[in-house]
Structures are given as structure tokens and as C-alpha cells.
Structure 1
Amino acid sequence: MTATYFVKAHWDAEASVWVSQSDIPGLVIEAETLAEFEDLMMSLAPEMLAANTGLHNTSVSIQFDVSSRRDLAVA
């Protein structure tokens, strides 16, 4: 059975960075761009899963979601 985890990128407007919310133990990401966030997720998530859950030599599925709020001026 393949394990499934989630990673959510949320825009922090005050800090001007993407921050992570995840059920992967130890995974904490802050990045200025969404592309940088995804690169970090793809490199750090396997490391955190191996170090903190004991998973090795397997595949896992990651549900990757992006959340951002924008203010729009309505005429």
C-alpha cells in the first residue's frame, strides 16, 4: 500500500513568502517563489520521511495544494 501525505503552500502576505503546512513530520518550508517552494518540497520531503517516519525504498503520494488570497478592487 502506498502512503499518502499532503503539503500545502500558503502565501504569507505579511512576510512575502510561501510557507508550508504538512503532515510530513519535520517538513518546514519558506520560499519567496512558488517554484522555489516546489523544488524544496521535492528535495526535503523524502529526507524528512526517511528520517522521521522510517520510510525507505518506497514511493509515496503527495497531495500538493496552493492557497493564496488576493484583494480585488471592484468599481
Structure 2
Amino acid sequence: MTEPIQIDARWDDEAHVWIATSDDAPGLVVEAASWQSMIDEVRAILPDLLELDATGVREVSLTFKAETHLGLAAG
């Protein structure tokens, strides 16, 4: 059975990195300078985190949700 995992990603404008975390994968914290690098890092780290999970999940489906905050001034 495939287990869905939602990855919450946000852009940190001060550090200039994407930060990814997930309530579905406790312990997942990734920082990367690009969107693709962040996805690659999550895919590299997640299998090790899931091995520590007592539920024995073997196959997952990842959904990435992005968040960024922008200021917009009236013209």
C-alpha cells in the first residue's frame, strides 16, 4: 500500500533557501538553494527516516506544497 506524505516547503528570503518539513515524516528538515535541489535532498533523506518509522511503510507518494510570502505595493 502506498502511503501519502505531504512535504511543506517554504522559501526563506533571508537565508535564500527552500526549507522542507513534513508532519507525516517527523525529523525531516531539508534546506536547499533551489526547488529541484530541495526535492532531490528530500528523496535522498526520506528512505532513512522511514526505516526508523515503526509502521513499516515501504512505498510512499510525495506531494510538495510550496509557500512563499511577497510584498506588493499599490502602483
TM-score range, shorter chain: 0.7 to 0.9
1:49 lines up with 2:50 in the alignment: yes
Preserved CA contact (<8 Å) 1:4 1:61? yes
Residue identity in the other structure for 1:33: S
Which runs of 5 or more structure 1 residues have no equivalent in the other structure? none
TM-score calculated relative to the size of structure 2: 0.79
Aligned length, in residue pairs:
73
Q: Structure 1 stretches (4+) deviating beyond 4 angstroms?
A: none
SS at match of 2:74: coil
Preserved CA contact (<8 Å) 1:7 1:64? yes
TM-score calculated relative to the size of structure 1: 0.79
**Corresponding residue of 2:65:** 65
Q: 2: CA distance between counterparts of 1:5 and 1:49?
A: 11
Which runs of 5 or more structure 2 residues have no equivalent in the other structure? none
